[in-house]
Chains A and B, each alone.
Chain A
């Protein structure tokens, strides 16, 4: 695995040696996130977000397990049990606000992580499998987040469940049967709430499992870097520990600072007031919106307003799922051998248009379904699909990339202005962090 100059785990004590011979778990950790993993020396702060996503998942699992000790998944008492957590359980308000805002933090971090993968071409050979597993994680996250949002059993919970399961009724012939099967009834009720709770508890552990595969697949070729140029030799890399553990520690501090600010000072900013009204199957809120992290996809769903051979509703559902499914094909749609968008002048323009496009889609998805937003969303949705399915394949064939640096070290030194040959001798710098 990885590079020949990677450091080898050498147990220092008799006990660690004894353990290593029987269960080489410390060795595994050492090679995965310790000094045994050589990483390009030029990673920027965007590379912090993988570790931050892991931290966000860990925070969600811990707070979630704790909340499950007090929550009751029954339509009659679910809402009150959440309020019981907020009012009577020791530090319950902290854990619930941490869990609710933690979901948003998780998505922010993962969206930046995806942005980094897209911009620096981390999805390209030889890291396709890393990307594919990442898209699987993203899908699992969306399912988990949706089911978690149903659990407090407020108005948005109930009507969110109603609308999202309504997607499946778009499927011809069997759609309604599938929807009733998913809900265990004709409308969301105890049966749906219980199965959502069960799956909401299960899926994070599935995500954790897929993350292990994600990291495993990453460690075969090693990490990408901002130049996109392959590692040429030992001078291009530094050991993960202490170099990137130190940098990730700082990144984690900033992440927690923002997270804590949300929990303690703006805990309901990203929530919706209607979810503080108990679920009422007989009254729909005036303005149903999903959580912010679903807005771009919700906008795509709503963009299909006219039947065209197939019913508009089915088009909407297909396109919404398609907008994520197409990411599975991305490594093969982009045939350019150059990874980093920094060296792709034409694609770079289109890429930033895509970023703006998704932001506008998100804005439309969070706004009422008024003509202005619908028209905007329709234009932006069209660009989203055109970008990935038409523009990207063409540009990646036609474009002439800018010259790449010969190596990571050369790029670093060119940027820093120092060209001393001794710079290349980075091995064995004894930078103790112990």
Chain B
């Protein structure tokens, strides 16, 4: 057992005035320091417990997606997947490009030109995530025969968001255009996404 009579030698009366002699603030400093130190430690331990829920190394390293464009005719589109999300690759017709270019930027909720959303000289290839920016449903319209909404792009059946031929939001609750992931043309007919 530890001896704790540091303040009172054995046999001596621990009279109350001993306490008065001590400076109470200095006396209690050690208690406050210990509790504060423990608090800091507790807060530090919480960090890894929170951080463990962030994407793990294997998820962050998820592979890039390659898309072969050679078999996609103008007016058609394909769906593949990028980071476990649907990826829309659409070959725009000249008419669709003209429609997109005709819209004044001032009318748009999220102003972007088709040129800004595609690669130079490749404005006919529109590559976006197939994730509605409202609440994450997959919009219709990438396949032929599906409802493309009144702007000829995509139509989200969940809450009625409508996108134009440049996949920009035109009507409905979605706040943003369909997202364009980072990608490069590795050849004239191959795109590497990611």
Chain A positions near chain B (C-beta within 8 angstroms): 44-45, 62, 66, 69-70, 84, 87-92, 94-95, 242, 246, 249, 416-418, 420, 422-423, 430, 432-434
Contact = CB atoms under 8 A, between A and B. Distances in A.
Contacts of B38: 249
Candidate in B12, B13, B52, B54 with the most chain A CB atoms within 10 angstroms: B52
B57 A87 contact: yes
Given A88-B56, A92-B56, A44 B1 contact: yes
A289 B11 CA distance: 56
- Which are the 9 A-B pairs with shortest beta-carbon distances? A91-B48, A88-B56, A88-B57, A88-B58, A89-B56, A90-B51, A433-B31, A90-B52, A418-B11
B15 to A, nearest CB: 8
A420 B11 CA distance: 7
A187 to B, nearest CB: 31
Interface string B30-57: 0100100010000000001101111011
A242 B30 CA distance: 13
Given A87-B57, A89-B56, A90-B54, A422 B13 contact: yes
12 contacts: A44-B1, A69-B53, A87-B57, A88-B56, A88-B58, A88-B59, A90-B51, A90-B57, A416-B10, A418-B10, A423-B14, A434-B31
B58 A84 contact: yes
A263 to B, nearest CB: 12
Contact of A66 (B12, B19, B52): B52
A44 B24 CA distance: 27
B52 A91 contact: yes
B23 interface: no
A95 B52 contact: yes
B52 to A, nearest CB: 5
Interface string B83-127: 000000000000000000000000000000000000000000000
A94 B48 contact: yes
Given A84-B56, A90-B54, A416-B5, A62 B49 contact: yes
Given A95-B48, A246-B31, A432-B28, A90 B56 contact: yes
Contacts of A242: 31
Given A95-B52, A418-B12, A432-B31, 4 more contacts: A66-B52, A90-B48, A416-B5, A422-B13
